[in-house]
């Protein structure tokens, strides 16, 4: 099958049949567009011409690039290539999978960074409670911390997703839905936004069911949500790095530090495997170690 056609078939598959998010599909497209361009430079125009040696040469060249790619980036690229070839072999487009022996590089283990409870409180209080944009921003931040939602999940919320009172319906990766509680602080902040701010924002644009709207009435984007978080961090004078995932990391870490069961946290975060959630237990252990080192008279 021609490379361009095979790539189009695969991207339709991950979009429609697997239900992957627009962001994830875009990442696959970027990786595989580069791979297809490289194959074209090698004179390869059909998937039947791709061999294990060709795949190995591509990965080796990418690994030797200057500046060297991060292990995580290289691992993601290899995952994209393997996913495509595995799909073509499974669908009978090709006789075998030339990427079958490909092994991703071992990425360095990175623990998520969480804010302290004091830092979170300063961050949540940073937006002005008197200005319309500040009321919206505070509602967004409170909801992120209260539910552990990904930023993409938060900006994808509809007003009707809040119709169940003190719980919220989130749509995560692979279009999987989960129900999470909403604390009283977040509910108060969101109610203030819904009654005092959202109607005027909605009147500026086309009718939208999205919960969070921008200044012109359009749904709030992921990029705009990131700017909200960064601006709040600056106003709160938080010097450590604050990323879109920071409140999600803080949500999980503070729950575990408070005694929550790891499987409950797994359910709240929407992780398919408890192993993904268990990385947060190491953060809690580090905290205990620090407290021990500073408090016990014979710790040193």
List, by residue number, the catalytic residues.
150, 173, 245, 248, 271, 280
The torsion angles phi and psi of 266, rounded to 5 degrees, stand at -55, -45
Q: Which of 247, 240, 252 is nearest to 280 (CA)?
A: 252
Neighbours of 247 (CB within 10 A): 29
Query: Quick check: 74 and 105 in contact, CB under 8 A?
Result: yes
- DSSP codes of every residue in 119-149: HHHHHHH-S-SSSHHHHHHHHHHHHHHHH--
Angle at 17 between CA 13 and CA 19, to 5 degrees: 100
| Host H or E run for residue 168 | strand 167-171
Query: Quick check: 186 and 121 in contact, CB under 8 A?
Result: no
Look at the block and give the residue holding tokens 């297809």. 36
Dist CA 193 CA 201 (whole Å): 10
């Amino acid at each position: 099958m021609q490379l361009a056609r095979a790539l189009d078939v695969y991207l339709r598959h991950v979009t429609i049949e697997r239900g992957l998010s627009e962001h994830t599909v875009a990442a696959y497209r970027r990786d595989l567009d580069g791979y297809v361009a490289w194959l074209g430079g090698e004179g390869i125009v059909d998937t039947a011409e791709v061999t294990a040696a060709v795949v190995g040469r591509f990965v080796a060249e990418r690994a030797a690039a200057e500046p060297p790619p991060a292990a995580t980036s290289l691992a993601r690229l290899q995952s994209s290539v393997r996913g495509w070839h595995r799909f073509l072999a499974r669908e009978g487009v090709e006789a075998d999978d030339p990427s079958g022996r490909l092994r991703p590089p071992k990425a360095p283990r990175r623990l998520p960074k969480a804010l302290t409870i004091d830092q979170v409180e300063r961050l949540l209080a940073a937006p002005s409670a008197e200005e319309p944009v500040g009321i919206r921003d505070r509602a967004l931040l409170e909801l992120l911390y209260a539910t552990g939602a990904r930023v993409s999940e938060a900006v994808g919320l509809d007003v009707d997703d809040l119709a169940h009172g003190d719980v919220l319906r989130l749509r995560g990766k692979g279009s999987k839905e989960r129900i999470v509680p909403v604390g009283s602080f977040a509910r108060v902040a969101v109610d203030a936004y819904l009654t005092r701010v959202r109607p005027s924002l909605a009147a500026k644009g086309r009718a939208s069911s999205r919960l969070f709207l921008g200044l012109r009435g359009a749904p709030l984007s992921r990029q705009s949500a990131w700017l909200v978080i960064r601006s709040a961090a600056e106003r709160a004078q938080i010097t450590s790095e604050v990323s879109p995932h920071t409140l999600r990391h803080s949500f999980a870490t503070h729950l575990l530090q408070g005694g929550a069961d790891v499987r409950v946290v797994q359910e709240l975060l929407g992780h398919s495997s408890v192993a993904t959630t268990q990385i947060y237990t190491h953060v809690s252990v580090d905290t205990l170690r620090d407290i021990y080192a500073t408090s016990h008279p014979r710790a040193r």
